[in-house]
Structure 1
Amino acid sequence: MKIHLDIDCTPDEARRFLGLPDVAPMQEALMKQVQERMEANLKALEPEALFQTWLPASIQGMEQLQKLFWSQMASGGSGSDGKSEKS
């Protein structure tokens, strides 16, 4: 013997009929938190913020390297003892 039932109801009606909890408020709160976190992360992805977080030490190192090059050029390329090296 076979029995075939077709039930036409919405998911909300089925949930209430089966006694399952309504998780819509929890989902809304969770989605709000996810949205806030995504917005905060997107702000961190702005080019200026990326350069500030990734390159501060590198930029300072580049500035020091540039100053070293300029000082060497200004002194005529001499070595540390003040005499130019000949090959």
Structure 2
Amino acid sequence: MKINIEIECTPEEARSFMGLPDVTQANNVYVDNLTKAMQGVSNPDQLQEYAKALAPMGQVGLKLFQSFVEGGMRGASGSPSKGGSKD
């Protein structure tokens, strides 16, 4: 027997339901600091070096950051992104 249950809720509602802490303030500080620090970065090599220094999750964080930067660069150049997002 197979039972499927679908629940529609916001990320905040899901976080609260599962008892996870609200890290919105910490995330905002992290993003603000990252944004300020990257204002002087002008090429991908500098971004990669900076990401290695900051990578909070080691190699996984670096790969995530790298894909984020590549997506931003594709968007800035006007070329279509590879694959699609399922949002």
TM-score, normalised via structure 1 length = 0.42
Of structures 1 and 2, the one scoring higher in RCO (CA 8 A, sep 6+) is 2
TM-score (normalised: structure 2): 0.42
